[in-house]
């Protein structure tokens, strides 16, 4: 059995809204130390992982590790009942067929409680594979989203190339011969960091890299 209370309920709403069109099902995992949402698309080409440590919650109680399967579109519909400033409380158990979500207004004058049916996801793996990546890029999500949104106006595919010069995002289309955005790591305190073992160049569908964030 677990019960968690998230004061910034909009975090969960925004995360679910961003990925619901990419993945159909997800697993919610609650342990003694953290709460996570893991999902993969039907083609196993995009993996999604959201991790919130127990210190992210006002109240966090988890007696044992729990894994629950949810339909992302259904979860998105349920979360629409929550206001952007509402407190979100989630309760669940491995032995339950439902998960309870409670939305409380900041002033405590309104409380909404919904029991959502769970999915049977046993036998499916939603964890991100533990690969030894040739390149790891860490950058601001707002910058990444802005680049992808802009390039999506030209084509639905983006080529990401990483060299010593930095990370290059590029595409082309019927009306634009070439569009490129170069992101460099200028210093240790820079918002963009690049760890590279070897040069990499790969094409991705913008529907998979999440230009809707």
Residues 112 and 18 in one domain: yes
**Shared-domain flag, residues 98 and 144:** no
Q: Are the C-beta atoms of 89 and 104 separated by less than 8 Å?
A: yes
Q: What is the DSSP string of 172-189?
A: --SS-S-EEEEE---STT
What is the total count of domains within the chain?
Answer: 2
Sign of CA dihedral 112, 126, 47, 156: negative
Helical axes 72-79 vs 10-19, angle rounded to 10°: 140
In a domain, 145, yes or no: yes
Rounded to two decimals, the pTM is 0.73
Which H or E element spans position 66? strand 66-71
Same domain membership, residue 204 and residue 101: no
Q: Does residue 170 sit in the same domain as residue 113?
A: no
37 falls within a domain: yes
153 plus 76 within the same structural domain: no
Please give the residue range of the domain that contains residue 94.
Answer: 2-117
Q: Are 88 and 102 in contact (CB under 8 A)?
A: yes
Residues 26 and 38 sit within 8 Å (Cβ to Cβ) = yes
112 and 48: one domain?
Answer: yes
The CATH number linked to 142 is: 3.10.150.10
pLDDT at position 77 = 95
Is the domain of 93 the same as that of 150? no
> Is the residue at 194 inside a domain?
yes
Q: Do 16 and 91 share a domain, yes or no?
A: yes
pLDDT, position 131 = 78
Cα–Cα distance for residue pair 85/103, rounded to 1 Å: 10
Per-residue pLDDT, 49 = 87
Do 103 and 142 share a domain, yes or no? no
- Domain membership flag for residue 149: yes
> pLDDT in tens for each of the 213 residues of the chain?
889 999 999 989 988 988 888 888 899 989 999 999 998 887 777 788 889 999 999 999 998 888 889 999 999 999 999 998 999 999 987 677 899 999 999 988 999 999 999 988 765 666 666 778 899 999 988 889 899 999 999 999 999 999 999 999 999 999 999 999 999 887 655 678 999 999 999 998 887 765 454
Cα angle, residue 190 at apex, residues 187 and 193 outer, rounded to 5°: 85
Q: Is there a domain that residue 83 lies in?
A: yes
| 84 located within any domain | yes
């Amino acid at each position: 059995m677990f019960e968690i209370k998230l004061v910034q309920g909009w975090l969960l709403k925004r995360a679910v809204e961003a990925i619901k069109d990419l993945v159909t099902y997800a697993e919610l995992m609650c342990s003694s130390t953290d709460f996570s949402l893991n999902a993969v698309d039907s083609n196993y080409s995009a993996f999604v992982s959201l991790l919130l440590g127990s210190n992210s919650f006002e109240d966090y109680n988890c007696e044992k590790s729990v894994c629950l399967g949810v339909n992302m579109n259904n979860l998105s519909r349920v979360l629409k009942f929550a206001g952007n400033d509402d407190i979100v409380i989630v309760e669940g158990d491995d032995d339950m067929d439902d998960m309870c979500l409670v939305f409380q207004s900041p002033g405590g004058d309104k409380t909404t409680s919904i029991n959502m049916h769970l999915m049977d996801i046993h036998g499916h793996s939603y964890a991100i594979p533990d690969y030894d990546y040739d390149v790891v890029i860490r950058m601001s999500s707002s910058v990444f989203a802005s680049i992808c949104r802009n390039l999506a106006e030209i084509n639905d595919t983006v080529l990401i190339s990483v060299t010593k010069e930095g990370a290059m995002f590029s595409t082309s289309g019927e009306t634009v011969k070439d569009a490129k955005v170069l992101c460099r790591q200028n210093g240790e305190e820079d918002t963009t960091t690049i760890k590279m073992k070897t040069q990499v160049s790969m094409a991705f569908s913008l529907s998979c890299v999440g230009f809707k964030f």
